[in-house]
Amino acid sequence: MDDNYQTYLNRVARMTLPEAYRSQVQHIQESSKFQPDSGLRQAVPFPGYSLITPPGVEATENSALYTQLQSYQQKLLQLSVNSDLIVPVPDTSFHLTLADLIWDSAYRDACEKNPEFEQQLRSCVAEIFQDYQKAIATDNQPIYWQVLGLIVMPRAIGVCLVPQNESSYEQVIKFRRTVYQNPQLMALGIEQHYHFTAHITLGYFGEISPELDRTNLSNMLSEVNQQWLLDSPGFLVDRVELRKFDDMTRYYRQSEWPSLVFSH
């Protein structure tokens, strides 16, 4: 389901062009993950599990890039459109998702039908990580990606990442294949829903006014994208962890939950 290396590069390159912003901005929608509450938009419950890189607050190896992303997020929030258009996520939660597992109603249903679901999920992921670790023991090149530019999604905005070489791409895709093709995980009802588009979410769309000047917004997004520093630090995909979330602001784990180190 995921693209080959060259197809991926071509696809994401198109997503960061001015015409892509013009087109995408026509289709943005309010995210249901944040709702108005006493005048401010607050995260609403949206529970689940994901396989992600350690979040910004813990990711010392990528702290230089995350610091840049914080100031980039501020630039987005300062765009001269209504203040409620973009709801920022905490910079402590910045991360790259390597594989979505289960969320929202599917997660609630799974827990309801099977009281052992969460325990089974954790032990299944632990086995996948162990098997994968053995498979890469002799072939573990460091996995480096880098920010290509701004990406506008239907309900969110963030930055898109590209691999620094083909090996960095193939290792991530191989990992995803190992996860999604695992029979035990499939038996738990977990399946691949999306093509991989490596991105770090900076915010979600809030109130979209009927008067929103979408052409002006797309022009401003293009300008902000031009300001992305070409010499920005690389993003080291060093570790992937099973993390739980209750909403879109915090991703946490217990110390004994599975994690996988890619390079030593």
Fold (topology level) of 5-261 = Cyclic Phosphodiesterase; Chain: A, (3.90.1140)
Other CB atoms within 10 A of residue 130 CB:
12
Residue 10, strand partner residues: none
Nearest by Cα to 244 from 97, 47, 106: 47
The pLDDT of residue 264: 58
| Average pLDDT rounded to a whole number, residues 105-122 | 97
Please report, for the chain, the start and end positions of each structural domain, with discontinuous segments joined by +.
Answer: 5-261
pLDDT tens per residue across span 168-185: 999 999 999 999 999 999
The pLDDT of residue 246: 98
Out of 77-91, 108-122, 185-199, 209-223, least confident range: 77-91
pLDDT band at residue 227, thresholds of 50, 70 and 90?
confident
The pLDDT of residue 140: 73
Tell which wins on pLDDT, 41 or 81: 41
The pLDDT of residue 136: 80
pLDDT reading at 211 higher than 70: yes
| Average pLDDT rounded to a whole number, residues 6-21 | 97
pLDDT tens per residue across span 51-103: 999 998 898 889 999 999 999 999 999 986 777 899 999 999 999 999 999 99
| Average pLDDT rounded to a whole number, residues 214-219 | 95
